[in-house]
């Protein structure tokens, strides 16, 4: 099997970090050419506000280890929100509670943008 570790796109690396933090229902969409704020949208679900902040902190810690990534803006971290947004320039990360994700349905807003990754809802219950 080919070693893809060094050939991953930045959004793939961030997705892996989020999944290691037990983020659920991951989606990555290519919004380049359709938005003025970025090229990729990464969207994950957290099981609670505490879990949401945990995912956020794991992502921030990872970004700090990279010379080619910066969190330019963030929103919803300190408040008791249901949504944390991270702006990394070309990549925007949305970490949402299940309720917020169901309400805002961001995938539907960008429905005509191609999906680069769309994870299964419950990967942990499937066995091979």
pLDDT for position 126: 37
Closest CA to 110 of 26, 35, 60: 35
Check residue 6 and give its pLDDT: 61
Rg (the chain; Cα; Å): 14
pLDDT digits (tens, 9 = 90+) for 43-52: 999 999 999 9
Q: Tell me the pLDDT tens digit for each residue of 50-69.
A: 999 999 999 999 999 999 99
In this prediction, residue 120 carries a pLDDT of 66
- CB-CB neighbours of 17 under 10 Å: 17
* Beta pairing class for 24-30 and 83-87: unpaired
- Could you tell me the two tokens for 12? 């793939």
The residues of the chain scoring below 70 in pLDDT are: 1-6, 120-128
Domains of the chain plus CATH, in order, are: 8-111 (3.30.460.10)
């Amino acid at each position: 099997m080919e070693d893809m570790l060094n050939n991953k796109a930045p959004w793939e690396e961030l997705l892996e970090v989020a999944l290691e933090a037990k983020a659920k229902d991951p989606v990555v969409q290519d919004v380049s050419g359709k938005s003025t704020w970025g090229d990729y949208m990464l969207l994950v679900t957290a099981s609670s506000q505490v879990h949401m902040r945990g995912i956020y902190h794991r992502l921030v810690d990872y970004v700090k280890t990279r010379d080619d990534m910066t969190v330019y803006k963030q929103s919803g971290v300190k408040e008791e929100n249901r949504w944390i947004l991270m702006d990394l320039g070309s990549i925007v990360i949305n970490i949402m509670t299940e309720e917020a994700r169901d309400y805002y349905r961001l995938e539907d807003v960008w429905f005509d943008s191609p999906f680069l990754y769309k994870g299964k809802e419950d990967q942990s219950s499937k066995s091979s």
